[in-house]
Every structure is written in C-alpha cells, then in structure tokens.
Structure 1
Amino acid sequence: MCMGSSINHVVRFDGLALRLDGEGVCSYTLLTVSGGIGEGSEVKLHSGPCQNSANYYQVCMKAIEVIHGPHKLLLKDDMTAVIDREELSLPWRFAGLELVRYRGVMLQLKSDHGYVLTFTPRSNEFTITRHSSSTAEDTAGLCGPCGEEKGSVLFLCNGSSTSDQPGFVSDWTVAVDDGVCLPKRRAVCVLGAAMGCKALRSQVFEPCHDHIPVQVFLAKCEEQACEESDVCELVSAYARLCRQRGVCVDWRSTDLCPLRFPGSMVYDACRTGCVEDCGSIQTLLGDWLVASGNESACMDTPTESCFCAKGTVLHHGQCVSAEACSQCVDQHGHVYPYMQSWVPDENPCLICMCLDQQNINCTARPCNDVRAPVCGPCEILREKRGSQCCPEYECACDLVTCDLPEVPRCEDGQAAVLKNPGECQPIHKCVCKKGECSLEPPAACAAHRQLSVKKTKCCNVFECVCNCQNSTHTCPVGFIASSSTNDCGCTDTTCLPDKVCVVGGVAHPVGSEWEEVCQKCRCTQLQDKDTSLHIAQCALPVCDRNCPQGSTYTPLKGEVHNGHLCGVKGRDARGHAVWANPQTRGRDVAVSS
C-alpha cells in the first residue's frame, strides 16, 4: 500500500516515508502503470493552500487526477468527480473504472490496471493498493514499484536511480499552468506539539509494536512534528499500517486527533464484515470485495471510518431504515414510495411509476382531446409555450391591434380605477374616495393671502386667496420709500436706506463736509451694518496753544464762545480771557473776565 498526505509525507509501497516540502500550487506523480500505446494509467496528486485555513502556507489536497488511457478523471476535494470535463453522477462505471462515493467522506476508485485508489480530502489522505496478482516492474512514481524492499534506490522519471530523497521528490513534481510550487517555508512550531508523539509508545499501540517497529515513526514524529496536524498524520499512518497487519488500534480521543462525521453515522476505528445496503454498488472504505448472492458491501480488512448505526442500511450514501429500500429515487434525488406515479420535470411527456426493487418505469403520456378556449375583446388564441407533448392553447392579450380606450382624466380629487382587472381590454372610471382625501392645509400662506376652503365634487381643496391691506407708510430721515406690487395686485411700501449720513436728525450726502459744534465732520463711504446708512466721521480742530506775552494758556472745559465749544483759553496782561478758536484763524480773541 502507498499512502500519504499533501501536508506532510508519502509512505511508499516499500514503507519509505517521503516528505513533500512544496507549498503553493503543487502537483506530484504518485503512480504510473505501463501498458500498450495509449493504454497506460497515471495517478497525480494536486495540492494547494487550505481553503478555510487562516494560515496560507498550510497545504491541503485539492484533487487527484487519474489518466486512464485516453480519458482524464478528476477526483475533487468537494467530493465530486469529473471525466473529460463532464461531471459524473455517482456511483459510476466506465471503461474499466469503477467509482463510488461513501457518505460524502471518501471517493474510492477501482482500476482494471490493478490498483484501488481511495481519496479522503477531509483528512488529507489517500491510499493506493496494488492487487497481489499485479507485477512490480510496471509501476513508477513517488509510490515506487510495488514490493520493492525498504532502502532500495529511488528511480527517477528517466529510469535512472538516486539516493537523494529531496531530488527524487522534485523529479516527480509536475509543473502546472495556473500555479507556482515553491519550497516550503520553515513554520513557527507550536510549543509542545511533539508531545502527541508519545501516543505511539502508549499501551494502545503496544500490540502493534511487535509487527511494525515504532522507533522509526516515533523518531520521525518527534523530528517533523511542528503542529498538531503533523502528529495526527504520522500517528494515523502508523495506525493504518497496524490495521493492514491485522492489529486494530482505537487510538483517537477527544483530545488527540478527533474525527467528526455528520449525520446518523457512528465512528468505528476497525470495522470489518458486511454492511447491508439496498442493492446498489455502494462499497465502504476497504477492499473491493462485494459479497455474491446478497446485497451487502463487505470488508475483509479493518477499516477506520463512519458507518451506519445498527438497524439502518446504506442507501445512496445515506443511512436509512430498511423500509426505505422499497422507495425509488430519481436522478435529482427525489424520493417516491412504491407504486407512486409522477411526471418528471425535465420531460413532461412522460409519466413514471415506482415499481419493485426500486425500478422506475416511465412511459409516454397519452394526449387527451384539447379544446381551444373562446377569447374575449383584445385577446388572441395561441399555443402555450412549453407544451411539448400535446398542444395546449390559451388566450393572450393582443396589445398591437387592439384599440385600447383612453384612461379618463379625473378632477376634484377623484382617482381612475380599473373596473375589470385581469382582462385584456382595460376599463377605467373616475371614482371619489373620500377616505383618501387630504385633510391637511398647506404649511403657510403668504402675508398678503389668507387660508380658504374650496368645495368640489369630491375632495375639499385648501387654497390661499388674496387679502390686500394697503396702507400709507412714512420713512424716517435717511430712508427713501420703495413701492412694489405682488401677484395679488397689493401695493407694498418698504423703506430703503439712502446714500446719506444722519447726524442729529439731519441727512448729509456721501462726501459732504460740515461743522458740528467745534468738530469738523464728513460723510464717508462706510455703512452701518444694522441700518445700512453711511457713517459720519468727526474730528476736533487743532487749536493754537501759543499765548501772547503776558498771557497764560489754561484749559477750560464746558465754556462756549460764539456758539463753539473750545478746549482752552488764556489771560492777557490785563487779565482778560483770550480764546484760541479756529474761527479766528489763529488770532487771539479777548474776552473780559
């Protein structure tokens, strides 16, 4: 037997373990069987990154390709099979090949070239078993010649020999068009992963130690175990060899490499004997020995897998009751009781019936008298689409030549209602639906309008009607009156700021200058942000502070002279007051004290 996993290694027919160190998309030639021209057989393993793994560099089996003469068969990891790009319905037999699928867990292929291939993608395992009657000289590949002694030389593709194991694996690595196979990176090992290797020395495996030396597997396990999956592969490989030697080892547990299987099946580490089925060619994980004279699949070597529980039988990969064996299952998986009849979806011209021993008998349906229906206005008679067996007629709407009446335009809130739904010639009528009338007034009316209700035949309508209130408006100083007429004809007067400055109730044009008390003012281009009127800027005059000889300069606040407020005054030699006033243009004005 040759077995292996795309994650770790391949164990050849001679027991030599080879490590597959490629990552990415890699393909390997496992077995070649020579034959006549175009009559040989070849088995290839295609591996790639695991689909549901967080680690991109973890490798899983993706497919096994079998070249059988001119045909190419592909066993995929989704438990489907394709031959020459055509998907197969399993179980299947053709051209010396027999393929079955067991419970969605394993695919098993028997070839007339003398080997049996099993593919279990869920656990990343495959096995290739050669018949004892097959010769050893006609095989090659990673699995090597069957019967070759351990430690013998490794034969390359060209027939030459080598002792270099990595070079041997590289020579049987096949190039692929849509991927790159690279040397595997050194993984970051899980601390304590190799502890699981101690299971090989446990009492569970002691009965097998005398048949298969455990030291080689233990050393390889401790050497290569980097993750828990590495340990499970090596221990599983040792347990499989033990079963081949007749030693059953039930070594799995909830803590050590547990296997989980769906449905109504139960796990068994070493099942032998026959498993009843309903007469199909279903076989189980093991030898291709089908018991003659009864309807059961038998295994003469212990097999690890999941099996139907007691009281159930295997039927198309499912565990069912014995009564279900009388039921018929069509190609779509539909189940029909005994003597039930039905019309297949893909061929309505047939009527099928479930007979004895799950046989399905289909015959042509008889055609009854078909009467054409009487069509109404805007309808034409035509044959139904898809009436393959007997002609069936129907009335269809004629929207091309039919004179369709116009839909009436409804007013006052009425709605057009179809009075004859489903007919080809539509008839509409205006109908008042009080319950659908809008009772909410508009959000708001303009200032010159007021809300009013207009009564109609159906729905009352709210509207905003004109409400003019003309008035005379006087604008303040600095503003000019502007009148406008709205959509209702109402006159509205608004006050707009003029281009003036307003100081003390007097308007001054922009750019004008004037005197205000003792200040000189000017109307600027600046505007007040609140009133938009222009801003006046005023400044105090520059007074002459130089007094004549004999006078002193004294500031007097609040005194007025000739209508002007001056900031300072002085005294002359006689004691009279003298004002420094802009009106005197620098001359002193004496005022008696």
Structure 2
Amino acid sequence: MATCKHDNTVEIVQVECKPPPMPTCSNNLKPVRVLDPDGCCWHWECDCYCTGWGDPHYTTFDGLYYSYQGNCTYVLVEEVNPTVDNFGVYIDNYHCDVNDRVSCPRTLIVRHETQEVLLKTVQMMPLTVQVRVNKQAVALPYKKYGLQVYESGFKYVVDIPELGALISYDGLSFSIRLPYRLFGNNTKGQCGTCTNTTSDDCVLPSGEIISNCEVAADQWVVNDPSKPHCPHSSFTTQRPAITTAGASGTTLRKGCASPLCELIQDSLFAECHALLPPQHYYDACVFDSCLVPDSGLECISLQTYAALCAREGVCIDWRSHTHGACSVTCPSHREYRACGPAEEPTCESSSSQQNSTSLEGCFCPEGTVNYAPGFDVCVEFCGCVGPDNVPRKFGEHFEFDCKDCVCLEGGRGIICQPKTCRQKPLSQCEEDGTYLVTEVDPADTCCHVTSCKCNASLCKENPPTCSLGFELKSEMVAGRCCPSYSCGKWGPGARGRGGPRAGAGRVLSEAGYELVEAPGECCMKCEQTHCIINRHNIQYILKPGEIKQDPTNNCTFLSCVKINNHLISSLSDITCPDFDPSIPRNETRAHCSTIPITKRISHSGCTKLVTMNYCSGSCGTFAMYSAEAQALDHRCSCCKEERTSQRKVMLDCAHGSSLNYTYTHIESCRCQDTTCELLPTENSASRRHRRSTPRALGP
C-alpha cells in the first residue's frame, strides 16, 4: 500500500492480509476465496447453488429442500434488480407418471442477452438431449457472444464466463451455480434469494416471504403458449397443505422405500457425509420410490448426491452397488467410469488445461484419447479425422466422398481433390434396339459408366410375312437385343422336319389349299390352288380357268383366273338392254360403261373380296354401204378403260395378320376406235357367241 508523506515523499507499506475465518455456508458447500476490490486480500463467499432432480425435488441457493409437482414452465432464477441484460433460467416440467401425481423436468431454458438456450430431453432411454439456440439446433461445443455450451460427462453445461455462471442439465436433474459477488441478495424465483440463509427463500413474485416454498413455487409460473392451462393469474396445481419450510405435505406409507435409498446413508458414502449431509437426498429417494415405485427415479437421487460429492472431491463408484438397477450403457467405442475427468483430454488440449474435478460419464478407453472437442472419436494417435469419423495418420492417403484425400500435419489437416475417372463415354450405340445410358459404375461408385442398354421396343427390324399355313415365331438370342424371327408350320399337322408329307397334308389342309412341293425345302408347303367363292351360304371351289354358272341365276357366272401366279375370282352379271330398231347394232347389249363386280383377290396366302369395275357394252361396230365412197364403210370401236387409278386393299391372312396389296381400278370406260379386222372365222364367231350368251358350265 502506498502512502503520500510530506515533501512529495511516498511510503510503500506491504498490506498484511489476515486470513478471515471460514464461514459455514447454509447450502453445505465449501466457501470460495474471492479477491477484495483492491486486489490485495481476499475473503470467503458462499456461492449460490440450486439443484433440482427427480419428480422434482429442489434445494434452493441457500440449501432449503422442498418438493414440487407443478407441470408448467417456471422461473428458477432472475435478478431482482437487473444488472445483466436479459438473464434468467427457467424450467419446463411435465407430469411423468400415469396418475399425473408427479412431475419431471423436460426442458431447461437459459437466457443471456440476445441468446436463448434450450436443453430439451427428447428421449429418455437412451437419454437424448437436444440443444437449441434461438430456436435453431446447434452442434457442440457451441461458443458465441460470451456464452458456451458443451458436454461434461453425462451433463450438458451452459457456461457464461463473464458472469461466472454454470448451468448444467442431464435430462432428469439440473444445477445452477452463480457467484455470490454478482448475484448475492439479488435473485428471485423457485431457487430462492441467495442470502446464505434459508429464512427468506420462500418468496413470492411480490416480494412477500411465506413459510411454504411449495406455495411460493406455484406463483413463479411463466406464460407459455404451448401450455394454455397455465395462466399467470391462477394456480397450476392444487395448493398443498401449509407446512413449515423444508417439510413435505405428502404422507407416505411405511415400508415402501426402495433398498437403494439406504445406499445414500450407508457407509458407501461415509466419506461424503461430513462434507454434504445426505438427509435431503435420502428423503427425495424415499419419496420417489414410494410415490412412483419401479420407475427408477430413486437412481436420480443417488446420482445427484454422488455428483455433489464428486464436486467436493469425493468420487464414489456407487452404480456397481445397485445390482444393475441403476446401470448405464455407453456407446461401443467408450467405457463407463465413475470418476472420469470433468474435461476429457483431447489431441488439442495440454496437460496444463486439465481440470482436477472428477465426475461420472462415458470416456475413451485407456490407451486412446478423444480426437477433439465436437468429435466423438477415440484415437490411438493424433492425426486427422474427417467427416467419416475415421482416424487417419499424417501422410495417409485415402478416398472419401468420391475425392482423393491426404492427411497432412498443420493447416486444415485433410486436403482433397476430385477423383479422376478413366473411362471415356460412348457417343452412340450401333446395334439395333440399343440406347445410351449413363449409370454408376458398380466397380467404382464414384465414377459413371456409359453403356448401351437393350430396349426391344426400339427395334426397327420388321418381322417377315409368313405364307399361309406357317406362323411367325420369335426367339431371343443371347448377345442380341432384338428378337430373331422365323416362319414355322402352324396347326396340328405341324411336326417339324420329320412331319407328314403330302398324304396327311391333304387331309389337314383347308378347301382350296393343297400341299405342294417346295423346291429346295425338305417339307412340302401349303398353298392355295383353287379360287374360293362364297355366295348365298354356298362355297364354290373353282380351278384356274374354270367358269361356273350360278345355279340360282342363269345370268350370273363365276370364274377363276390365275394371273402372275395370283388367283383372281370374279362374279359376272349379264344384263339385256331394251331394243331400239332405229339404231343399227351388231348385238343386243348395253352401251359401253363400267360394271361393278365383286372379285376375290389372293396373294401370298392372303385373300379379300373386293368390289371393282370392268368395261362392257356395245360400241356400234358395223359395216354399211357408202354411196359417196361406192364401197362398204367399216366402223369398229371397242369398249375400253378410259381412266384408271391405283388402289390399296388390306388382304386378310392366317392367324389374324394382314397384308397391303395394290391393284388397278377402272374409274370410267368409253368406246375407242380400233382397226376393223376381217370377219371372224366360224370358230371365232362360235367363241364370240358363247361369250355373249349365258351358258351353264359344268363344275
């Protein structure tokens, strides 16, 4: 200490700091040493420490114990006179038993300045806690704007270094530790007043102090839109009976307590009893096991007491004494330890950074170390760990996410380049019916291969037309995309190359068809050899060149001709014109005109009845004496086609198939002059007479 003397003389005297007597903290925790404002000496303070666990049970900042089963959202702590912008801790409780008699914590909410942190239990078995900041999920460790969130053992911790505040949550219990120098005599809520005395912990929002904390706790409800049954102005649960501070209004039956509760008062925790009285935690264990038996809630009281003992430096492996009733399961790459480090060492941490505090949790096995904060990877050596969570040694080359990577010491650690694929893509497919397709290479899923795939619907080859008596057959040949076509025998008589020949074929063939020799073929083939005419439900079979009179009409003739190896059947009607004596005629026939006729066209085993025209009629061919020429005047004309067109018809084939066929159709006829020849001979006249006179012909 410096003292100003006369004549500008300054005397420096060392300040003597006398150790102050150690106080007794009402919450039974050890007091902490705090520097005086001048920074020379120090004094003792009792930090504010509030906990909640089970269904739930509370100890206030000053150590007052009570149970409260509200199922709304409540204020745990806020400042009476705000010195920190928007600071507060809140708890969301819900009924966690089928009878709605007890409550459990579901979400712990921490507000600090512009950030709101939610630690929410989303699954109990196995325990899963989700961390959200300003309604957005975040990864741990999280650090922003003077606030940190990280994992420590089984707990999720919110750390605000500038306030010295530590808030932890593990799904079924919470703890809030605040420095007395910043929050002493300036807190309100279900956690009490932090004055190092329990007499004023049961305080109402109005500031009134009452004797029952359960009644006071009911008043610290927060407006939560998701809980419309929890208004500000009314109680959220039935008012419990008025009791003195620290007592409970619930009467428990005798002998209902779980034997596990006895462990808290047993010699197992004897070393901790002197540091932290176990009675509150024993009472909570009995309460939970009696009110909600076989729920496992008694394990939470044991866990909470053991955690406080570990904080005081006494670590106890208590779970091994519960015979599996309170066991925990760790991930396969980690192992359970009752007394692990509060800050697990990593490849990035140094020994000087290690915290001596012990706690239980799932830790990396002996001989391994956690790679880095935020990486749940235990490694034997400190190299690189990529997004695949696989540890790599420095200098190791590997492939990840279709990239060629290498682990390097320093810098970003892992450097990756796009993987190079060697195959050159095809430009087109040559085989009929195939198309280009690009797909993942099964041998290397990082690369794509282009190949030709088969789609039979794209085949351009047309199947052949099979002759009558044969059917089209298709066969898929290995190594070929499109089917291979062939014509095979059809019908019950088809027996392949060793089948019957002409004898059996005539029996099986249809009328008008016969088996004929096929040059160069082993077997005979079925071919149409006669014209087939169906008229008035009667079928007529005519050979080529044969003419037959219709037995029902003497002026109708049926005929069959073979032209260019095609069979053409015809039906001819002869009409007789009225006689006109003023017009010289060489025969009594109608004038030249088109006459419709129905004929059957046959081609390649396919047939069709077609109505077409032919030219017929008188054209005035005569011989007459001419006085001017003093000779006979011959005039000869012929009834011939005047205009024709090419028409198409679809012929019907066997088995329902069809065939396009083109024929010449006569559109109109007229008499055309021609050279007059000598008079026909008698035989010729006889033949002409037969053509113009209807005559019944034999079949």
Q: TM-score, normalization: structure 2? A: 0.48
Q: Given that residues 417 and 430 in structure 1 are in contact (C-alpha distance below 8 angstroms), is that contact kept between their aligned partners in structure 2?
A: no
Deviations 1:406-452 (A, max 9, x none): 6889996945537767xxxx63324899xxxxxxxxxxxxxxxxxx9
Q: Structure 1 residues 70 and 187 mapped into 2: Cα distance closer, same or farther (>3 Å)?
A: farther
Give the AA of the match of 1:329.
G
Structure 2 equivalent of residue 326 of structure 1: 383
Aligned position for 2:146: 96
C-alpha displacement at 1:120, in angstroms?
1.3
- 1:360-412 CA-partner distances (Å, limit 9, x unpaired): 34466599999774323689999999xxxxxx99689999xx88556889996
**Cα distance 1:429–1:366, how it changes in 2: closer, same or farther (>3 A)?**
closer
Structure 2 counterparts to residues 292-311 of structure 1, below 5 A: 294=350, 298-311=354-367
What residue identity is the alignment partner of 2:476?
A: V
Instruction: Report the CA distance between 1:139 and its aligned residue.
Output: 3.6
SS at 1:80's partner residue? strand
Q: Pairwise mapping of residues 251-400 of structure 1 onto structure 2 (< 5 A)? A: 251-252=318-319, 253-255=321-323, 258-262=326-330, 263=332, 265-271=334-340, 275-279=344-348, 294=350, 298-315=354-371, 318=376, 320-323=378-381, 325-330=382-387, 333-341=389-397, 345=401, 352-356=405-409, 359-362=412-415, 365=418, 373-376=426-429
Match of 2:203 in 1: 155
Residue deviations 1:238-282, cap 9 Å, x none? 4444444444444441348533132354444444687532226xx
Is the Cα–Cα contact under 8 Å of residues 196 and 256 in structure 1 kept in the other structure?
no
Aligned residues of 1:49 and 1:58 also touching (Cα < 8 A): yes
Structure 2 CA distance, aligned partners of 1:405 and 1:37?
89
1:41 is aligned with what amino acid? F
CA change 1:379–1:417 in 2 (3 A) is closer
- 3-state secondary structure, aligned to 1:173: coil
Report if aligned partners of 2:383, 2:391 keep a CA contact under 8 Å in 1.
Answer: no
Cα 1:256–1:46 shift into 2, 3 Å: same
The residue aligned with 1:560 is none
Q: How does 1:135-146 map to 2 (within 5 A)?
A: 135-146=183-194
- 1-side partners of 2:314 and 2:83: how far apart? 42
Do the aligned partners of 1:92 and 1:99 also contact (CA within 8 Å) in 2?
A: yes
Structure 1 residue 17: deviation in Å?
Answer: 1.9
Q: 1:328 to 1:420 in 2, by over 3 A?
A: same
Q: Is the 8 A contact 1:46 1:61 kept in 2?
A: yes
Over the matched positions of the two proteins, sequence identity in percent amounts to 20
RMSD: 5.1
- SS of the counterpart of 2:357? strand
SS of the equivalent of 2:269 reads helix
Tell me if structure 2 keeps the 8 A contact 1:326–1:338: yes
| Counterpart contact for 2:110–2:116, Cα < 8 Å | yes
Q: CA deviation at 1:94?
A: 1.5
Which of the numbers 56, 70, 75 marks the counterpart of 2:119? 75
Write out per-residue CA displacement over residues 551-575 of structure 1, whole angstroms, 9 at most, x where no aligned residue.
xxxxxxxxxxxxxxxxxxxxxxxxx
Higher alpha-carbon deviation: 31-40 or 299-308: 31-40
Q: 2:158 aligns with which of 105, 109, 121?
A: 109
Q: Is the contact between residue 116 and residue 128 of structure 1 (CA under 8 Å) also seen in structure 2?
A: yes
**Aligned positions of 1:113-192 closer than 5 A:** 113-121=163-171, 124-131=172-179, 134-179=182-227, 183=237, 192=256
Relative to structure 1, the CA distance from residue 380 to residue 40 in structure 2 (aligned partners, 3 Å threshold; closer, same or farther) is: same
Tell me what 1:516 maps to: none
Are positions 1:203 and 2:267 aligned together? yes
The code of the aligned residue for 1:76 comes to K
Alignment CA distance shift 1:309-1:225 (3 Å): same
Q: Which of 110, 117, 135 pairs up with 1:85?
A: 135
Q: Deviations along 1:97-123, whole A, 9 cap, x unmatched?
A: 2222357x43222124431122212xx
One-letter identity of the residue aligned with 1:109:
V
Q: Secondary structure at the match of 2:272?
A: helix
| Helix, strand or coil at the partner of 1:277 | coil
1:197 Cα deviation from its structure 2 partner: 3.6
How big is each residue's C-alpha offset from its partner over 1:67-116, in whole Å with a ceiling of 9 and x where there is no partner? 3322332223223322233322222221212222357x432221244311
Partner SS state of residue 208, structure 1 = helix
> Does 2:455 match 1:455?
no
Aligned to 2:93: 47
Equivalent position to 1:232, from 275, 283, 299: 299
Distance 2:286 2:304 in 1: 15
Q: Separation in 2 of the partners of 1:84 and 1:247?
A: 37
Q: Which runs of 5+ in 2 are unaligned?
A: 1-48, 122-127, 231-235, 241-249, 441-447, 500-507, 509-699
Partners of 1:33 and 1:418 in 2: CA distance: 87
Q: One-letter code of the match for 1:39?
A: D
Task: Return the index of the structure with the highest Cα Rg.
Answer: 2
Deviation at 1:21, TM superposition (A): 0.8
Residues in 2 aligned to 1:311 and 1:150: alpha-carbon distance in whole angstroms: 48
- Evaluate the alpha carbon distance shift between residue 71 and residue 414 of structure 1 in structure 2; reply closer, same or farther with a 3 A threshold: farther
Letter in 1 for 2:484: K
Alpha carbons 2:173, 2:304 under 8 Å: kept: no
State the distance in 2 between where 1:190 and 1:11 align: 25
Quote how far apart the aligned CAs of 1:317 are: 6.0
- In structure 2, relative to structure 1, the CA distance for the partners of 1:407 and 1:59 (3 Å cut) is farther
Kept after mapping to 2: 8 A contact 1:3/1:125: yes
Give the conservation status (yes or no) of the 8 Å contact 2:338–2:359: yes
Give SS of 1:168's match. Answer: helix
CA distance in 2, matches of 1:409, 1:84: 77
SS of match in other structure, 1:276:
coil
**Cα separation, 2, equivalents of 1:432 and 1:144:** 100
- CA distance 1:343–1:166, change in 2 (3 Å): same
- Counting matched residue pairs gives 409
Q: For 1:276-297, what per-residue CA distance to the aligned partner results, in whole angstroms no more than 9, with x for missing partners?
A: 32226xxxxxxxxxxxxx1676
8 Å CA contact 2:90–2:108 kept in 1: the answer is yes
Distance 1:102 1:374, change over 3 A: same
- Taking the aligned partners of 1:407 and 1:80, their CA distance within structure 2 comes to 68
* Structure 2 match to 1:5: 53
Quick check: 1:408–1:428 contact (8 Å CA) kept in 2?
no
Once the two structures are superposed, what CA deviation does each residue of 1:460-497 show, in whole Å capped at 9, x if it has no partner? 9xxxxx9xxxxxxxxxxxxxxxxxxxxxxxxxxxxxxx
Change in Cα spacing, 1:396 to 1:271, as seen in structure 2 (3 Å) is closer
Question: TM-score with structure 1 length normalisation?
Answer: 0.55
